[in-house]
Structure 1
Amino acid sequence: MTNPLRERLIARIRETGPITVAAYMAECLADPADGYYMGGDPFGAAGDFVTAPEVSQMFGELIGAWTLALWYRIGAPDPIRLVELGPGRGTLMADFLRVASLDAAFLKAASLHLVEISPALKARQAETLNGAPLMPEWHDRFEDIPDGPVLVVANEFFDALPVHQFVRTETGWQERLVGLDGDGALAFVTGPTRLPDAAVPPSCRSAGVGAILETSPASTAVMTAIADRIVKDGGGALAIDYGHFRAAPGDTFQAIRGHAYADPLAEPGRADLTAHVDFEALAAAAEAAGAVAHSGLTQTDFLLKLGLIERAGRLGNGQEERVQNDIRDAVERLAGPDAMGHLFKVLAVTGPGILPEPFDSRPAAPHDPQE
């Protein structure tokens, strides 16, 4: 089967030389004609992957309850911009707004803003949120959100932002590129660009030859913009994604197609491309902008402290056995250490002087559970 995007990438590399992994990832996900996110719905059993909001309504409800509590903790500003980055099908926000509908003061103060580049997903979000208590406005970039305090939710957003990869050689960290092999197929090659020693995280400096180091300037740029806004206008942000608390060497660039891992170079634009999120880098970007980063919680910690078990018990009360089993399965998928629970980490960003629950009881020294 022909792949127009692959052919265009090969032609580009032949003409101008290998491209960065970040450039390749951006083209595969966001090419206007053939990008993965531009033409269809990749979520759910019929798609390529399932996100936490699709597992259970409990996830979006708990995120909604947390965000409402943060709004009151920062003084219940009116107006408030409620922002979701990469809203998927709109499922999380639909569940969020069901909780928000119980608070008339919040609904009066809030306007809803969705940051989404995919026309197909915008249409799906509009369908999901039809009749919701807040109707969304769509934006291509966070920077386009109207002025004022913001409450930002980013669930599985940062993992889809492009990463650069560097490989440890005898002479230092050199950038890994996407070029062509002897048969003219896409292949990884090592380029001449070197990562300055000062830019290598201390935890990665003893890595051996052949190790891979990933950086994501796109991710830190988005976090810097969010933190700048919070410092200037007030508000807070919540990021949940799979990744690590501290920078570490490792090749996490991966493709998912049909709920299975795939070769990231095999079918450009036809598989989801992601990389694990460096929460240490995100926290550092937020704090460099003058905000406060609250970290150290896995998704397990976060959801259980917010009352996942109690919410599951209320949902299952009086239901038939099949429904109760489904709810138990959802709890295990969301918070089980062998499912999403330990792989996914949580980061909150606020202005100075704000300590949101449950980060006010977070571990003294965050650590990465076994992934």
Structure 2
Amino acid sequence: MSLRERLAAQIAAGGPLTLAQYMTACLHDPQDGYYATRPAIGGTGDFITAPAVSQMFGELIGLWAAQTWRAMGEPAAFRLVEAGPGDGTLMEDLLRAAGAAPGFREAADLWLIEASPPLRARQAERLAHAAPQWAGRLDDVPGGGPLILVANEFLDCLPARQFVRTERGWREKMVGLDEEGRLAFGLSAPLPPPFAEADLPVGSIREVSAAQEAFGLTLGARLAAEGGAALLIDYGSARPGGDTFQALKRHEKVDPLAFPGEADLTVHADFAAVAAAAVAEGAAAAALLTQAQFLGRMGIEARAQALAARRPDRVETLGRQFDRLTAQNEMGELFKVLCLHAKDLSPPAFEEAR
């Protein structure tokens, strides 16, 4: 049976699924889940991420990591962690740039948080020189030392539930079956919403990701107890609201119910909820920056000029890459950067973002 058929049978037997349950099945089902079996990243895949756009992205994050390590007092040992490392491109570029800081590579104990077997295989091949170790979740990364964590397009893959304000009150969006037995969206009976801002106009939509909040709680507790900083880069807005659930297949948005297990399913990152969770556990959260602001503060313009001077034949390509990463109508505004850190630390690029 296909994943679609198995989900239909499950719904017929046990009732509709929440959006979070549907996302989890489509992305992580061991037999047919998208990340479990066929993640397709890059220009010839289903979606492209910033590390694949240009080496400048990962290099500037490497510069941030090295400067953060220095601000921490250059500890002789620390956990360097990437959550959702994709094919390993970001970490490869990060290590190359951060390696310019004497002692950084020797002090770094590299851990990759990855649930996908195919992606782990790609990471192992690309990063063999760095001797990475893998964990299924942050809790599985050993403690006992400070942490520098980066995550690019990780939060958006964590499942979320969705609630709609109707004339009868708040109702949850569910995945059920239509009269012909096909997957279809529907609404639950009225129920109390799992958030405080309940008095919103009819038609309002709110998404709630317990998984994103749980990651914020775990990360915040770790930073508060052992020190360090985390850089979370994703698409989303400073204020949550609206329907952001989408499916991507071959770089096009498709019906999220049309290709279970064959398309990437995402929601916008809820930066406010993640930051609040981390702060509740004793960490600090800098004010949110756009990707353009962060890359600008880390020197992307100078880096692009340096690369162009070295490779005049790539000036036009570098210009396109620069625009893709920073332009308002590209990744520059849609993508945001959240920095969580120990209270006694002032990470680079966020000194004034309080």
TM norm. shorter chain > 0.5: yes
Counterpart in the other structure of 2:224: 231
Separation in 2 of the partners of 1:69 and 1:43?
29
Q: 2:23 aligns with which of 22, 25, 29?
A: 25
Separation in 2 of the partners of 1:300 and 1:103?
25
Q: Please tell me the residue identity of whatever aligns with 1:205.
A: D
Counterpart in the other structure of 2:214: 221
1:244 is paired with a residue of what secondary structure? coil
Do the aligned partners of 1:42 and 1:48 also contact (CA within 8 Å) in 2? yes
Counterpart in the other structure of 2:137: 141
Task: Render the CA deviation track for 1:295-354: whole Å, top value 9, x for unaligned.
Answer: 231000000111001000001104234x11110100000001000000000100111132
Separation in 1 of the partners of 2:190 and 2:136?
31
Counterpart in the other structure of 2:342: 351
Task: Render the CA deviation track for 1:131-186: whole Å, top value 9, x for unaligned.
Answer: 3xx21001111100011211110100000000100011123222111111111111
Task: Render the CA deviation track for 1:202-241: whole Å, top value 9, x for unaligned.
Answer: xx733x3232210101001011101111111111101000
Mapping for residues 69-218 of structure 1, pairs under 5 Å: 69-131=67-129, 134-147=130-143, 148-192=145-189, 194-196=191-193, 199-201=195-197, 205-206=199-200, 208-218=201-211
Task: Render the CA deviation track for 1:184-212: whole Å, top value 9, x for unaligned.
Answer: 11111111362347x233xx733x32322
1:189 is paired with a residue of what secondary structure? strand
List alignment gaps of at least 5 residues for structure 1: 365-371
- Residue 357 of structure 1 and its aligned partner are, at CA, apart by 2.3
Q: Given the superposition, is the C-alpha separation of residues 273 and 8 from structure 1 closer, same or farther in structure 2, using an over 3 Å criterion?
A: same
Q: 2:324 aligns with which of 333, 340, 353?
A: 333
Do the aligned partners of 2:80 and 2:108 also contact (CA within 8 Å) in 1? yes
Task: Render the CA deviation track for 1:246-293: whole Å, top value 9, x for unaligned.
Answer: 22x210000000000000001100000001111111111111111001
Do the aligned partners of 1:166 and 1:195 also contact (CA within 8 Å) in 2? no
Counterpart in the other structure of 1:368: none
Separation in 1 of the partners of 2:124 and 2:288?
35
2:244 is paired with a residue of what secondary structure? coil
Separation in 2 of the partners of 1:102 and 1:335?
25
Separation in 2 of the partners of 1:28 and 1:295?
33
Q: Given the superposition, is the C-alpha separation of residues 94 and 245 from structure 1 closer, same or farther in structure 2, using an over 3 Å criterion?
A: same
2:7 matched to 1:9? Answer: yes
Separation in 2 of the partners of 1:236 and 1:320?
37
Q: Give me the CA root mean square deviation.
A: 1.4
TM-score (ref. length: structure 2): 0.96
Separation in 1 of the partners of 2:274 and 2:135?
22
Separation in 2 of the partners of 1:159 and 1:61?
23
2:242 matched to 1:257? Answer: no
2:292 matched to 1:300? Answer: yes
Counterpart in the other structure of 1:266: 258
Q: Please tell me the residue identity of whatever aligns with 2:178.
A: D
Q: Which moved more, 1:74-83 or 1:21-30?
A: 74-83
Do the aligned partners of 2:212 and 2:270 also contact (CA within 8 Å) in 1? no
Separation in 1 of the partners of 2:60 and 2:126?
19
Separation in 2 of the partners of 1:124 and 1:333?
25
1:241 is paired with a residue of what secondary structure? strand
Do the aligned partners of 2:83 and 2:114 also contact (CA within 8 Å) in 1? yes
1:153 is paired with a residue of what secondary structure? strand
Segments of 4+ moved more than 3 angstroms: none
Counterpart in the other structure of 2:42: 44
Q: Please tell me the residue identity of whatever aligns with 1:129.
A: L
Task: Render the CA deviation track for 1:28-77: whole Å, top value 9, x for unaligned.
Answer: 00000100011234111110011000000000000010011111112222
Q: Please tell me the residue identity of whatever aligns with 1:77.
A: P
Q: Given the superposition, is the C-alpha separation of residues 205 and 355 from structure 1 closer, same or farther in structure 2, using an over 3 Å criterion?
A: farther
Mapping for residues 315-330 of structure 1, pairs under 5 Å: 315-321=307-313, 323-330=314-321
Do the aligned partners of 2:288 and 2:339 also contact (CA within 8 Å) in 1? no
Q: Given the superposition, is the C-alpha separation of residues 193 and 91 from structure 1 closer, same or farther in structure 2, using an over 3 Å criterion?
A: farther
Q: Identity across aligned pairs (percent)?
A: 48
TM-score (ref. length: structure 1): 0.92
